[in-house]
Amino acid sequence: MLDYRYQTFLTLTEEMNYTTTAKRLHITQPAVTQHIQSLQQELGVELIHYEKRQLSLTAKGKQLQKDLYLLQREIAKVEEQLTSTVEHNTLVFGASLTIGEYMMPGLIESYLNQYPAHDISMVTDNTQHLIELMEHGKIDFAFVEGEFNQSVFEFQKIGEEPFIAVCSEKSSLWKQEQSINDLFSTPLLVREEGSGSRLIFETAIKSKGIHLDSFSKVMMIGSIGATKKLVEKNLGISFIYQRAVEAELNKGILKKIPLSDFNVIHPFYLIYLKRIQVRGMETMKNFLKVAESN
C-alpha cells in the first residue's frame, strides 16, 4: 500500500479539484489540503500549483504522478504473486495500430503455441497513447512504429517496413513514376495526431520542405481499415505501411504509387521504461524471441 498522502496526491491529480477529491476519498477537504502540504514539506518541492482558482501540476508533480502509477502497478503485482496459489505468467502490453492489426495475430499465435499456459492482454492504440499508458503503469511494454524518447525508454528493433504511397486501381497515379509534388492536387488521407505513421509521414515530407498544407485537401481518418476503403473508392491517396495493404495490393484493388523522391523504410521497436524494472522480464524476452523468429 502507498502512503495515504500519496494516495491523496494521485486522486487529486486525477480530479484536479479539492472538493471532488475529498468526496472520492471520503475525507474532508481540509484533510486533502493537509495531506498535500505535508507531502510537499517532506519532499521539499512544490507538487501542486494553485493560481487564479486553477490547479496545475508542476514538473515535479507530473514526474511523481508517473512514478506513483508505476509503483502502484508493481505493488499490485507483488500482492498478486504472494496471494496466488497458482504460478502463471501474463503479458500486459500494447501495440500501435499497424503492428497490432497486421503483425501481432501471427506472433501471438506462435507465442501461445510455445507457451499455452500463459495469458495475454494487448491494447492497440496510437504510439502517443501507448507511451502514456506505460507512464501510468497500465501496460508493461509496447510495440510501436512511431517516434519515442530514447533517453527514457529501453528499446529493441524488431523489424522494419516500407512506408509507401497508395491509390485506387481506378486512379492513373500508379501507372508511371512521378514526384511527390505531383500529388499535391490529389486529396490526402492521414491518420490522427499522435499516430506513429502520421508522424513518420510528416517528418519525411518536412525534410523535403513539404507540409500537409501543400496538399489541396487533407482528411484525417483514425482507422486503417476506413482509410483503405476510402482509397479503394478513389476518394484520395494515403501513405501507409506496405504490410497494412499487402492483401489489397495482391488483389490489385489498391496500387503502389511509384515515387522518384520518396523512399522511406521505418523500423518497428519494442520499448519499455528505463527507470522501472518490467515485471515478468523473462516472459517479455520469450515473446521477443518469438517475434525475432517470425
Average pLDDT over residues 211-239: 94
CA–CA separation, 255 and 277 (whole Å): 45
What percent of the chain shows pLDDT beyond 70? 93
> 161-265: same fold as 4-64?
no
CA–CA separation, 247 and 115 (whole Å): 29
- Which conformational region is residue 288 in: left (phi greater than 0), alpha (psi within -120 to 50 degrees), or beta? alpha
Which residue has better confidence, 37 or 67? 37
pLDDT digits (tens, 9 = 90+) for 16-26: 999 999 999 99
Residue 61 and residue 48 in contact, taking contact as beta carbons nearer than 8 Å: yes
**CATH class of the region 4-64:** mainly alpha
Residue 255 and residue 165 in contact, taking contact as beta carbons nearer than 8 Å: no
CATH of 83-158+268-293, one of 2.30.140.10, 3.40.190.10, 1.10.40.60, 3.30.470.20: 3.40.190.10
Average pLDDT over residues 264-289: 77
Under CATH, domain 161-265 is a member of which superfamily?
Answer: Periplasmic binding protein-like II (3.40.190.10)
Residue spans per domain, the chain: 4-64, 83-158+268-293, 161-265
pLDDT score recorded for residue 221 = 93
pLDDT band at 11 (very low <50, low <70, confident <90, very high): very high
